[in-house]
Amino acid sequence: MGCLHSTAAREYPGHENPVKLASETAFSVSEVEALYELFKSISCSVVDDGLINKEEFQLALFKNRKKENLFANRIFDLFDVKRKGVIDFGDFVRSLNVFHPNASLEEKTDFTFRLYDMDCTGYIERQEVKQMLIALLCESEMKLADDTIEVILDQTFEDADVDGDGKIGKTEWSDFVIKNPSLLKIMTLPYLRDITTTFPSFVFNSEVDEIAT
Amino acid sequence: KTPVTMNAFELISTSQGLNLGSLFEK
């Protein structure tokens, strides 16, 4: 450390270069390296292959590898950018970047739209919202009468489906989110602003000079 | 009785599966 001309980030065999990932995201090089610590701990939890599979993702989220969850599956699928059934380090960093406090509202809005457009039709449809609502109720062991679920869906679509075609398009979703900003709360992880503090063990290992990068 | 301010997405966004903060908790 301390060499002003040093730009030599550590290399991770089989993974994208931290300097490149930092240049494409809101993370600094040392933050990308700190994320590698997190990635490493998740990706070796079941199979030590340097990739995160669905079971490992669930284990990291719930501390329980057998817990099936519709939403965790959706997040996993969106993180699995290359559609390989696993998340590699580049996918992990770029996807988490959307959750950075400094990421744009457009990116966050777009991510939530894709999250809820489960069938990838370009619309969030009523039956998808119903399916997610029922999944949420099961997960939280809440019971609501069928009529109540329909009332909630009616109300939601009355507010969000402005053209009344029974589905929520991208523009309708953007407008809805602007009126209901709390819906994007899940899209910001304060941890990401200070990731090197979250993983202090990394700091002692860093080979990167932040000034130089 | 349905809370007047609830919409489906507000409920959905409380899912534990959407709370990625837990990835950072040991």
Q: What is the pLDDT of residue A195?
A: 82
| Alpha-carbon span A132 to A125, nearest angstrom | 11
Q: What is the pLDDT along chain A (213 residues), one digit of tens a residue?
A: 444 444 556 667 678 899 999 999 999 999 999 999 999 999 999 999 999 999 999 999 998 877 889 999 999 999 999 999 999 999 999 999 999 999 999 999 999 999 999 999 999 999 999 999 999 999 999 899 999 999 999 999 999 999 999 999 999 999 999 999 999 999 999 989 878 777 665 554 555 544 444
Q: Is A136 on the interface with B (CB under 8 A)?
A: yes
DSSP assignments along chain A, one per residue = ---TT---PPP-TTS--HHHHHHHSS--HHHHHHHHHHHHHHHTSSS-SSSEEHHHHHHHHHS-TT---HHHHHHHHHH-TT-SSEE-HHHHHHHHHTTSTTS-HHHHHHHHHHHH-TT-SSSEEHHHHHHHHHHHHHHTT----HHHHHHHHHHHHHHH-TT-SSEE-HHHHHHHHHH-GGGGGGG--GGGGGHHHHSHHHHTT----TTT-
CB atoms within 10 A of CB B17: 23
- Partner residue opposite A136 with nearest CB, options B7, B15, B23: B15
> For B18, which of A63, A75, A176 is closest by C-beta distance?
A75
- pLDDT value, residue A205: 54
Burial class (CB in 10 A: 0-12, 13-18, 19+), A102: exposed
Q: What is the pLDDT of residue A202?
A: 52
pLDDT at A212: 42
Q: What is the pLDDT of residue A112?
A: 98
Q: Which parts of chain B have pLDDT scores under 50? A: 1-5
Please tell me if residue B15 touches chain A, with a CB cutoff of 8 Å.
yes
Q: How far away is chain B from the Cα of A3, in angstroms, using its nearest Cα?
A: 31
What pLDDT score does A8 carry?
59
